[in-house]
Amino acid sequence: MVKNWGTGDAPQSDRSRWLLAILIAIVGVSAVILTFCELKGLQVWELNAYHRMLRLRTPEKVDSRIVLVTISEADLRKTPWALLDKIAN
């Protein structure tokens, strides 16, 4: 009686060996990638890809809701330090 190995009739020990080999390969590749990332080996490529992605974005329009509030030394001398709400508004 000849077994047909291509139809999934492999003995349990062959399946176990294949599963073990696949598991070892997965763990090994994952460990190499994680180590490489932890040592910042991919950081240059990641930053280049990020900068390219930002350059490809469409320009955003200026938001008119942004307001810059500046306080100078003259403003601090003119008003008391405990700035009252009626002065600030």
Domain boundaries, the chain: 9-88
> Can you point out the beta strands (E) in 1-89?
none
Query: What pLDDT score was predicted for residue 3?
Result: 55
Which bin fits 40, alpha (ψ -120 to 50), beta or left (φ > 0)?
left
Q: pTM score, two decimals? A: 0.40
pLDDT band at 57 (very low <50, low <70, confident <90, very high): very high
Q: What SS3 state is found at 48?
A: helix
Query: What pLDDT score was predicted for residue 14?
Result: 86
Query: What pLDDT score was predicted for residue 4?
Result: 56
Q: Residues with Cβ < 8 Å from 79, sequence gap 6 or more?
A: 87
Q: Residues with Cβ < 8 Å from 9, sequence gap 6 or more?
A: 3
Which candidate, 19, 12, 17, places its Cα nearest to that of 3? 12
Q: Which residue has the higher pLDDT, 70 or 23?
A: 23
Q: What is the CA radius of gyration of the chain?
A: 32
pLDDT tops 70 at residue 67: yes
Query: What pLDDT score was predicted for residue 25?
Result: 97
